[in-house]
Each structure stands twice: as C-alpha cells, then as structure tokens.
Structure 1
Amino acid sequence: MTISSHLQELDGLPAFDFPAPEAEPKTTLPDAGSVAWRITADVYDGEEEWESAFARFLRAVDTTEVRALIIGAWSEAYESSPDGVVEALVAASGQLPSLRALFLGDMTYEECEISWINQREMRSLLDGLPQLHSFGVRGGQDLDMSGIKHERLRSLTVETGGLDAGVVRSIGAAELPALEHLDIWLGTSWYGANTIVADLEPFLTGERLPALTSLALRNSEIQDDIAAAMAGAPVVARLETLDLSMGTLGDEGAEALLAGQPLTHLKKLDLHHHYLSKPMEDRIRETLEPAGVVVDLSERESPRDDESRYTAVAE
C-alpha cells in the first residue's frame, strides 16, 4: 500500500540521479539528452535545498539537450508545497527548449508517504512550460488542477492515495486537445477520495479529449462502479488501452464490463491488483485473448467482501 521505489524511466529514457555536491566532481555525467535527470534534496534536514541542486544542474549540463526531468524530494515535503521548485522550473524554461517530459514528486514512502506529499496549483507550471508533451504529479494534498490549458500535452498522470472530486472535475474541464494518455489514481476515502461516477463523465464521453487513446482510472475503491460505467462509455470504442487496475475490482464490476460493449478492439486491458474469482479471470481471458487483446490479471488478491478490499496504493 506504499511506493517503495523511485521511477526507473520517464518518457522512454532511463532515470539518472544528478549527484550530490560532494559526488558531482567525481561523477561522469551522461549526455544531457540520453537520460531522465532526477533532481532531489533530502526531505529531512538536508544540507542542500532543491533549488540549489537545480542551480548546480543547470551549470553542469547542456540544458539545451535535456529532454526529461524527474523532480524528487524537496525539503519538508510532508508539510511544505513545491512553490520554490515550480518557480525555479518556470524561470529556467528558456534554458530547456528540448524538455518534453516532467514528473513532479517522485518520492518513496521513506521520504514522504504519497498521501502526505503537499502539492499546489499546477496551471502556472504548465503555462510556463509550453514545450511539454508529458506531465506527471504525485500527491493529492492541496493539489489544484483548475484552469489548465495546454496545446502540446500528450500524456497526463496524477498519482494519489486519495484524490478530491474537485480536482477530478478540474481535470475533466481542462483544455487538452492533444492528450492521448490520461492516468488518474483516485485512491481511497481514508485519504480524501470522494469521487463518484458522475464526476468521471468527461472522461467517459471523451468529448473534450479528441485525441485520447489510453485511459486509466485506477487505484480506486469504487473500481466496480467505474467498470460498470465503462460498459457503455462512448470513449471506449476508440481506446487502445483501458486500465482499471490497482483498485478493488471484483466479479460484479467485471461482469458488468463483459456484458457491455465489445472490448475486442483493445490492444491492452490492465486489471492487475484485483479481487476476481478464478472463473471470472478465465472468462475475461477466453473473451479477449483470442482477439489479440493483452490482458493483465496479475496480483490477484483473495476474493472478499467490499469492506475489506484495499487499493494498491493508499497511504
């Protein structure tokens, strides 16, 4: 129920940790455009603030070639927002003309539990980085996605252990005409999730997302309800990938999904971390795999009543 490892890649590039001050002179740095650079500080009593690490990074590499940045921990992330981080990134936008992918908040549970990561409004960050194609953020505390408009963004990921419905509705109202991939971790009510299916309507119709081909609404305690809604959702007909993984999906939701519109056009259906019975697993495979659909039914949890199921990531 926690995140125990950092991102290993971003936008197809392997992650590389920009070295600490004492290690930098001894470290051979890779070509600037060959890796996703992770820049981080110590959450607890670090000697170097994130902004100082970023300033060293800008001096050390050819920033015109940087394609991907992974923003790790900032000082006291459990009680402070990344205002200074965002301001530094926007100020450096002109030095990063090739930047296409950004992930904000790559922290493990040892640094800061996902539901304790403080965030902020994201409009100014996305406005300040118009060159981005991919953006991801981890942590739902004080996250604000309202007013977002971005012409180039193709991928948006929001990872939380509990996401407020207002944020979900803000994402649904965003103007993202190029968006192809949307991934939202809705989470559990224990950590603030209060979304209902009606809040997901913009994603189910797809009317505001004309380029969308990959949709993930996952890590949710209402996964059965979401699966039932997908059975008749207009967007499904044009999807290549549908991801309902990491949540509390059981036989009831899977039954509704199979009884709805055909799914045989999909390239992939991801249901990993689920509560399906073995007979239901077999039905899904027998229905979809002969049509060439890749089905992920890994991480099968023991079937149990709704109240005792849990999402893959919460705290």
Structure 2
Amino acid sequence: MTNNQNQPREFDAVLGGEAPPPVQGVVLGGIEGVKRRLSSSNIEAGIAAVSEALNYGDAGLYLLIEALKNKSRKVQRSALKVLKDIEYPQIELALKNYKFWRSFEKLYSIPCGYSTTFANRKVIEFDPTTKISETVDIAYALRIIPKEDYWKPSMNSVDKLQIFLQSPLANQIEALVFGFWYTSSLEDYTFLPVMNALLNANEKLGNIKALFIGDVNNSEWHHLPLLYSNFSYILLAYPQLEVLKIRCNSSSRYYKNSTGIQFSPVRHETLKAIIIEGEISYDVIDEICQLELPALEYLELWFGTDGRYSYVLESIRNFSHIFPNLKYLGLRNCVFSDDMAFAIVDSPILENLLELDISVGNLGCKGAECLLNCPSIRQLDTLDITDNYLTDEIIKEFNQFEIEVISERQKTPDRYYSACE
C-alpha cells in the first residue's frame, strides 16, 4: 500500500484551465485519480485504473468492487479478473452477487435423476421421522422417493409438508424442492395440492427464498404429466421469493382439464430468477412478459415444438424493456435457433447481459454468422452455444472472442437435433 496516494500519475485527472498544473489546475492523483478514471467514459483509462487500484489497500478494493457495476463491460471484466484471485470476505460476497447463478445446476438434456443442488444449496431429502437440524445452505426436498410405491405411496408430498411445518426451525428454511404429487387416479396427476398447501403455509415458511416444483427423474419426465396451476398466487404468497424453478414436459398436453403453467399480471419486488425447464408454449412466455419483476436478473426458458415462434421472437425483442436488469438470458431447447439469433441481435438486450445461453438447439451457420458479426456479443462474459449444429471452423471463430465460449457437443447436420429428442 503506497504512502503517496495524492501523487499524480499517468491518466490522473486534471481539474482547471488549459495551462499545465499546478499553475491553473489541481491534480487529482492517488485514489481520487483512480476513482475519477473508473467513472469516466475513457475505457482504456478505466482499465488502467483497475490495475492501479490494488495499490491503495481497502479503498482500492472497494473501487474494484464498484467497478463490477461499471458501464463498460471491458472495465467490468478487468475488475473481475483481478478480484477472482483475492481472498477477502467482501470480495467473495461481491462476486457472488455479480453472478449469483454461477453454481446453479444446469441441464443439457432431460434429467437422469433427482436434483442434488438447487439455488446454490445442497438438496437433502426430508425424513418425516427425524427432526430438522440444518438450515444453512440447505434445500429440503419433499418427494416420493424411488423405494416407495408410486401409485400408493406411504406418504405424499403434502403430508410430508404438514410434518415439516411442525418443526420450530421451519421458518428458518430458505429453499424447498417438490417432486411428484401421487394419487391413484391418473386424472389427479397435478401439483395443485402441493401449490395449495404452500399457499396455506406461507406464514410458517416466512423465510423461503427459493422454490423448485417439479423435480422429477428420467422415467417420470417421459411417462407422467407435469400439471400445474397459476404461479402468480405463489408469488403473492411469498413476497420474499428470489428463485422460482419449474420443470414441465410435453405429456401434460395430452390430458384433459390441464391448465398447465399460468401467470397472471402481478408485481413482485424480489424475484431474481425464473427457470422453466421442459417445453413451454408461447402463452406462458407472453404471461411472463406481463409480470412486473424489477429485480429479475436471470431468465432461463426451455422451448419445444410450439409453432408460433414468431410471437416468441417478438417477446425476445422486447425483453430489454420488460426486464431491464436482466444479466443472464437462457433461450434453450429451441427449434428455431437461427431466427432467435437474429432477434437477439436486433434487440438491445445484449447491452446489459453478462451471459447468453442458446444451448441445446439447432443453431446453424446462418445464426452463427449473425452472432459473429454482432459487436455486442463480444461484450458478454459468457456465451453458451453447447449442443447445436456448428462446425469446428465456426467454433474457432467464436473462440477468438475475448470472452468465455462454451461450445461442447456439436451435432452433425444429418442428426435429428436433441431439442426434439
């Protein structure tokens, strides 16, 4: 840590007239010079200030943390590179907030088994015969476990929830995971009982920040319908909710009286992440766009074979206006990836994004060229184009970007793309 914090250096700001300092000007050297350069529109000066900030101890570290919010993505990335190698509690918290989703479990295909982590927490199966002892960084799962009889389980999820609520520590739990709701009637394969139970338990679960409804394994995903109701009631009942994850499938469309996933126009102040895995229709996307979610930073949507994709493209173009604080956008499992790439480039959404994920789709040469020719793509931290139809030559072009590019599992054109498998 230097003792000459006010000595002028290269790029130091000079206040006053045209004459050289100190005749008519005041030199802002040291920490003030670093601060001024970080807030200026001169990107190169900002990057240089990032490197110099470490010379000023805690004050410099604070400026580096603030630089993660800089208007320039290059300055942000420079600060990120420096901070990642420093062990300091405030820095760890800042990096966690910068990309709070960095440890989210991410699927590239249908689930093989039940989730082991959720919302950066370890998933533990709730045992109704034992007491809750852990509450920190834990997500309790209330599922019908494989050893039980699927058709006549000894205890369904709602019964487990009622026992769970009897614990004096229930109001300290921050995350819950729900699997299937089982009855003997096929028409009753719906999560409505679980959702109703959650609505009735909102006062006892006053600290819930993350909910995952629909955590199913491979067999359940393929053969049983995931039927839901209106999730806006959940949002209203849990105003402190930060992460909402839903898993759906195509089976539900073949059953009568299925309302499926729905949202009504409501405002929620704290919701930071929406994740919907499976096959959602345009109607759901349209309803999500009608929500008021000022805190939303993470939006991950899995598409399917809904033919009305022109409506989806229009929604994508409007995302930047609807969700201005979005940092991660995942548009996955898509059968119109090339058209989606053009819609993304036409939208100002890229100006604020840290990460764009268009994996598990049918992105080809046309869409790739569109992204390669877009300067804003180079401002991302991460671009995920895993599991598409891109050649080695195109991947090499993407890898020339000074950003993280994830590009594994590219398919050959003669294969039926995995988005429809």
Could you state the TM-score of these two structures normalised by the residue count of structure 1?
0.87
Is the CA contact 1:145–1:171 (under 8 Å) kept in the aligned structure 2?
yes
Give percent identity, aligned residues only.
25
Question: Is 2:289 aligned against 1:172?
Answer: yes
Question: Is 2:364 aligned against 1:241?
Answer: no
Q: State the match for 2:136 in structure 1.
A: 33
Q: Name the SS of the counterpart of 1:125 in structure 2.
A: helix
Work out the CA distance in 1 between the residues paired with 2:410 and 2:366: 15
Q: Which amino acid aligns with 2:140?
A: W
- Residue 147 of structure 1: CA displacement? 2.2
Alignment CA distance shift 1:158-1:148 (3 Å): farther
Alignment CA distance shift 1:40-1:239 (3 Å): same
Question: Which of 18, 22, 30 is the aligned partner of 2:126?
Answer: 18
Q: Name the SS of the counterpart of 2:176 in structure 1.
A: strand
Q: Which amino acid aligns with 1:171?
A: I
CA RMSD, Structure 1 to Structure 2 (Å):
2.2
Q: Which amino acid aligns with 1:117?
A: L
Is the CA contact 1:146–1:167 (under 8 Å) kept in the aligned structure 2?
no
Unaligned ranges ≥5, structure 2: 1-108, 253-259
Q: Name the SS of the counterpart of 2:339 in structure 1.
A: helix
Is the CA contact 2:382–2:404 (under 8 Å) kept in the aligned structure 1?
yes
Is the CA contact 1:249–1:274 (under 8 Å) kept in the aligned structure 2?
yes
Alignment CA distance shift 1:202-1:221 (3 Å): closer
Alignment CA distance shift 1:89-1:114 (3 Å): farther
Question: Which of 120, 128, 138 is the aligned partner of 2:237?
Answer: 128
Q: State the match for 1:285 in structure 2.
A: 399
Task: Tell me which stretches of 4 or more aligned residues in structure 1 moved more than 4 Å.
Answer: 76-79
Q: Which has the higher contact order (CA 8 A, sep 6+)?
A: 1
- Residue 183 of structure 1: CA displacement? 0.5
Q: State the match for 2:364 in structure 1.
A: 250
Question: Is 2:317 aligned against 1:204?
Answer: yes
Work out the CA distance in 2 between the residues paired with 1:263 and 1:54: 45
Is the CA contact 1:156–1:181 (under 8 Å) kept in the aligned structure 2?
yes
Question: Which of 299, 302, 305 is the aligned partner of 1:182?
Answer: 299
Question: Is 2:190 aligned against 1:72?
Answer: no
Work out the CA distance in 2 between the residues paired with 1:114 and 1:215: 29
Work out the CA distance in 2 between the residues paired with 1:197 and 1:273: 23
Q: Name the SS of the counterpart of 2:296 in structure 1.
A: coil
Unaligned ranges ≥5, structure 1: none
Question: Which of 153, 157, 173 is the aligned partner of 2:275?
Answer: 157
List per-residue Cα deviations over 1:254-275 (Å, max 9, x = no partner).
1111123431211111111111
Q: Which amino acid aligns with 2:366?
A: E
- Residue 102 of structure 1: CA displacement? 0.6
Task: Select between 242-251 and 203-212 the one with higher mean Cα deviation.
Answer: 203-212
Q: State the match for 1:224 in structure 2.
A: 338
Q: Which structure has the greater CA radius of gyration?
A: 2
Q: State the match for 1:84 in structure 2.
A: 193
- Residue 29 of structure 1: CA displacement? 4.7
List per-residue Cα deviations over 1:81-127 (Å, max 9, x = no partner).
21110111111111112210111100012234388311222111111
Q: State the match for 2:73 in structure 1.
A: none
List per-residue Cα deviations over 1:48-83 (Å, max 9, x = no partner).
121101112122460121011111121159742211
Q: State the match for 1:304 in structure 2.
A: 414
Q: Higher helix proportion, which one? A: 2
Could you state the TM-score of these two structures normalised by the residue count of structure 2?
0.66
